[in-house]
Structure 1
Amino acid sequence: MRRSITTRLVLMFAAAALATFALIGAALQGVLARELERHQHDELATTLKGLQYWIQTIGTPERWTRVQARMDALTPEDGSLRFWVLSDDPRFQYGKGLAEIDGLVREADGHGSNVMLPGQDRPFRTLSVRIPPFESRPAVRLVVGRNSEPYARTRETFLTALVALGLGAMLVVAFAGYWIARVGLRPLQQLSQEAQALRPKTLSQRLQAEALPVELSALAEAFNGALARLEQAYAQLEAFNADVAHELRTPLANLIGGTQVALSRPRAAPELQEVLASNLEDLERLRSIVNDMLFLARADRGEVATGLMLTPVAEEVRKTIEFFEFVLDETGGQVRVEGDLTAQAQLERALFRRALSNLLQNAIEHSGPGTVVTVTLREEADGTWIRVSNPGAPIGDDHLPHLFDRFYRVDEARRGQGEHHGHGLGLAIVKAVAAMHGGRVGAASADGINTFGFSVSAGMATRED
């Protein structure tokens, strides 16, 4: 069962309060016990010294009766304070159970001990002193004992009060902690309510982070950032669905229209062959779109390039350019390779050629006849870069970050003399191939030259000596 934050805070407040009060109570109990023991010792020492001074001046059995009368007067009725005088001469003895006391009390002068007397629930705290002989009186040992019962009851009463006060204080802290937690977490509850009010149609809304405490404002800002990314992804998904529908609608409409026209009346075999050839072109276009979308879906799931081989990059570039010789002959264009021609990289050749083919096709289609397209190879800190540059109309800075998005086109900025036959996924595939090789993509437009490129990871790239 999950507990709320309020419950956890209350329990932590209560546990902290209980631990604090327990430590304070233990310290106070120790201080009280030491003070009571000191008080008991001081009381016994005072009584012992008074009797000692008086006994020292008594040296005959006749005067000893005064000592006995004095100790009888000092002994309370409840027997909480008792006196014993131990002596070899029975005439100078005093107290009950002298034999037991003589066997129990062995401490040096001024040092006390606890003596458990018969019939008592608590021990007696005792002090004793040896009094030297005087006249006819031999040496005697005076013992003063105080029952520890009152002191023990005081400690027990104090401990009971401490426990009761500690538990009461813990309850007070728990209730106060509950109120503090509720008040302190109120901004979090408001934040949760705002988040629950968000709907797919209201993704443009943001949480109000300005009025929140510092600890929650960072969370709200992070959540707002996630909302912004979600809104962008949602908008891209909607645009993607619309673009897919648009891209598929045209060849499907051509297929349906051409087939309906062909079936509207009897046709000769050559006419039907022409219709089938036209339908085949549209079907191949559909297959190309579907294959590209499946490839991008695999890339989105985190698929990486396999079968990597250490390959000279310039050699793969030249082999890829050979596929465009027929197109270049028709347009009178050229492709020139520059830069680090000895660079090598770990590549999956098929993917690399596919990405470079898309860049070359993009450059040739958006360049005029006789244009020179440049492929530049560079070893940089973040990897090996392959950039394809061609003359063309400038591209706005606001478009550059989105050129590798799916179905993103800037027709007004990329209009060339040739017809653009792509379906808006070529540069997105370049981005996916770069990601599969641990690299990045980039685009630039300056001084009438448009450049598109991708890289492979620096960790995968090497260079020949």
Structure 2
Amino acid sequence: MKRSIERRLVVMFAIAALATFALASAALYAVLQSELARHQHEELDTNLQNLRYSIERTGDVERWHRVVLKLDTLTPADGRVRFWVLSDDPRFQYGKGLGEVEAMDHDADGRGTLKLSGQAQPLHTLSVAIDAFGERPRVRLVVGSDWPGYGHTLRVFLGALLGVSLTGVLLVILAGHWIARVGLKPLEQLSREAQALRPRRLSQRLKLDDMPDELSGLTAAFNGALGRLEDAYRQLEAFNADVAHELRTPLANLIGGTQVALSRPRSAPALEETLQSNLEELERMRSIVNDMLFLARADQGEAATSLVRTLVETEVRRTIEFFEFVLDEAGNTVAIEGELTAEATIETSLFRRALSNLLQNAIEHSAPGARLTVRIEREAGWVWVKVCNPGLPVAEEHLRRLFDRFYRVDVSRHDRGQHHGHGLGLAIVKAVARMHGGSVVADSAGGVTCIGFSVPAS
């Protein structure tokens, strides 16, 4: 079941309202209960003090009958208020159930509760001891009340609180539903605009105008994602076009050469020459496909696994030795500079592949007899390997895109006048660096261009 923000907000409003009403009701009920208890105690204390005054001035049996008459008069017919006088002298006693009254507990202030047989509710009592006077011995006056009116008031008030609270919660739910709908309208508008996006309108963006502050950040982030998606889509289109272009040339050469060979009878040497030319084109196509498969695996998150700790300078020299014939043919030399004792944790085959691409790139863009440099630098837990070559400067807009697939700088930069790669060499360098957790760098200043990558130092 899908979760609804509107429903969740309404439920949260209802829970908050229920908790608020419950706390308020509990507080009001406690205040009312405390006030009613205070009024009951005041009533008991008033009756107690009134009778105490009369009993304290009564010292004989004849006048005690007047006290009894007064007690009978103050006792209501419904028995809500009861009086008892406890005494060792039976002549100065009053009330029914004196044994139960005498056995009840009370605190130092004379307050207590009394549960009489046949009585549903306990009585709240207040008592006081009165010293002897004349013939009257020391007595104890007890006033009790069963608080029926107060209990009824509490019950009625509690029912009213429950009714008001439930009604209030219902109103809050209705108001919360309306508030949630109104508050979520910008989100609905944002959803409609997002649904209106189409692949053919990649430049379309969500409107930031009139958006609440809470949604402005989300909208800006979504627009940023759309921008990145547009860039990725355009790069994919350019990549597909470049792939088609790169494969079209060798395919055209293969088809053309084969058609020419089949146009008329050929001798065995001529057919052998055609097959040799076709083999070169097929090797070129295989190289492109292999490089693209390697980049695809790198894009899927494949990382270097066969890691070994090695001296970087040793791997650099081995790679340069592999290029010895190419360097001699071009008349170039290579020098190694920097941190020659730096060690790194690398997969040697990937490292050599990346360095080979950098050396091939430097040879292609250097004049005959140029001196190339491989710099080894150590920086903050990383070892940088940079290949530098003299040549025409590379503009900043090109430096930022050197590692893009199939990206080539203008042919006029090539001092040899011919380009042998297919535009994936530096992209592979970037992939190798990423597979080691490193990064790449390109810089061109003072007639020297340096391109390199980093691997984790040991």
Q: Flag whether TM exceeds 0.5 (same fold).
A: yes
| Separation of aligned partners in 2, 1:88 and 1:18 | 58
Aligned residue for 1:385, secondary structure, equals strand
Partner of 1:195: 194
> Is the 1:439–1:454 contact (alpha carbons within 8 Å) kept by the matching residues of 2?
yes
Q: Structure 1 pair 130/420, CA: closer, same or farther in 2 (3 Å)?
A: same
- Between stretches 152-161 and 115-124, larger displacement belongs to 115-124
What is the CA distance between 1:113 and its match in structure 2? 1.5
TM-score, with length taken from structure 1: 0.93
> Is the 2:366–2:389 contact (alpha carbons within 8 Å) kept by the matching residues of 1?
yes
The equivalences for 1:41-440 within 5 A come to: 41-104=41-104, 106-107=105-106, 110-381=109-380, 383-412=382-411, 414-440=413-439
Aligned residue for 2:238, secondary structure, equals helix
What is the CA distance between 1:177 and its match in structure 2? 2.2
What is the CA distance between 1:412 and its match in structure 2? 4.1
| Matched AA of 2:338 | G
> Is the 1:85–1:143 contact (alpha carbons within 8 Å) kept by the matching residues of 2?
yes
What is the CA distance between 1:109 and its match in structure 2? 7.5
> Is the 1:108–1:129 contact (alpha carbons within 8 Å) kept by the matching residues of 2?
no
Q: Structure 1 pair 182/382, CA: closer, same or farther in 2 (3 Å)?
A: farther
| Separation of aligned partners in 1, 2:251 and 2:107 | 116
Aligned residue for 2:420, secondary structure, equals coil
- Between stretches 447-456 and 135-144, larger displacement belongs to 135-144
Is 1:450 the counterpart of 2:449? The answer is yes
What is the CA distance between 1:108 and its match in structure 2? 6.5
Q: Deviations over 1:206-262 (max 9, x none)?
A: 222353222222222222222221111111111111111111111111112221222
Q: Deviations over 1:135-178 (max 9, x none)?
A: 33333322211122211112222222222222222222222222
| Matched AA of 2:225 | A
What is the CA distance between 1:345 and its match in structure 2? 1.8
Which sections of structure 1, spanning at least 5 residues, go unmatched?
none
| Matched AA of 2:49 | K
> Is the 2:309–2:346 contact (alpha carbons within 8 Å) kept by the matching residues of 1?
yes
Q: Structure 1 pair 353/130, CA: closer, same or farther in 2 (3 Å)?
A: closer
> Is the 1:394–1:413 contact (alpha carbons within 8 Å) kept by the matching residues of 2?
no
> Is the 1:395–1:413 contact (alpha carbons within 8 Å) kept by the matching residues of 2?
no
| Separation of aligned partners in 2, 1:363 and 1:347 | 23
| Separation of aligned partners in 2, 1:166 and 1:413 | 84
What is the CA distance between 1:10 and its match in structure 2? 1.6
> Is the 2:337–2:376 contact (alpha carbons within 8 Å) kept by the matching residues of 1?
yes
| Separation of aligned partners in 1, 2:388 and 2:271 | 44
Q: Deviations over 1:103-126 (max 9, x none)?
A: 43x536751222122333212212
Which sections of structure 2, spanning at least 5 residues, go unmatched?
none
| Matched AA of 2:454 | S
Q: Percent identity?
A: 64
What is the CA distance between 1:411 and its match in structure 2? 2.2
| Matched AA of 1:23 | L
What is the CA distance between 1:197 and its match in structure 2? 1.8
| Matched AA of 1:380 | E
Q: Deviations over 1:181-224 (max 9, x none)?
A: 22222222222222222222222222223532222222222222
Partner of 1:36: 36
What is the CA distance between 1:294 and its match in structure 2? 0.9
> Is the 1:399–1:410 contact (alpha carbons within 8 Å) kept by the matching residues of 2?
yes
| Separation of aligned partners in 2, 1:107 and 1:370 | 116
| Separation of aligned partners in 1, 2:165 and 2:293 | 69
Aligned residue for 2:216, secondary structure, equals helix
Q: Structure 1 pair 98/346, CA: closer, same or farther in 2 (3 Å)?
A: closer
Q: Structure 1 pair 318/80, CA: closer, same or farther in 2 (3 Å)?
A: same
| Separation of aligned partners in 1, 2:317 and 2:101 | 115
Q: Structure 1 pair 325/130, CA: closer, same or farther in 2 (3 Å)?
A: closer
Aligned residue for 1:238, secondary structure, equals helix
| Matched AA of 1:422 | G
| Matched AA of 2:445 | A
Aligned residue for 1:402, secondary structure, equals coil
What is the CA distance between 1:427 and its match in structure 2? 0.6
> Is the 1:117–1:123 contact (alpha carbons within 8 Å) kept by the matching residues of 2?
yes
TM-score, with length taken from structure 2: 0.94
| Matched AA of 2:43 | E
Aligned residue for 2:344, secondary structure, equals strand
Q: Deviations over 1:46-68 (max 9, x none)?
A: 11111111122223333222222
- Between stretches 73-82 and 318-327, larger displacement belongs to 318-327
- Between stretches 248-257 and 422-431, larger displacement belongs to 248-257
| Separation of aligned partners in 2, 1:90 and 1:340 | 118
Q: Structure 1 pair 110/418, CA: closer, same or farther in 2 (3 Å)?
A: closer
| Matched AA of 1:371 | A
RMSD: 2.0
What is the CA distance between 1:367 and its match in structure 2? 1.8
> Is the 2:254–2:278 contact (alpha carbons within 8 Å) kept by the matching residues of 1?
yes
> Is the 2:433–2:454 contact (alpha carbons within 8 Å) kept by the matching residues of 1?
yes
Aligned residue for 2:400, secondary structure, equals helix
| Separation of aligned partners in 1, 2:108 and 2:295 | 99
| Matched AA of 2:64 | W
Q: Structure 1 pair 205/136, CA: closer, same or farther in 2 (3 Å)?
A: same
What is the CA distance between 1:82 and its match in structure 2? 1.8
Aligned residue for 1:368, secondary structure, equals coil
Q: Deviations over 1:401-430 (max 9, x none)?
A: 111011111124533224101111011011
| Matched AA of 2:278 | N
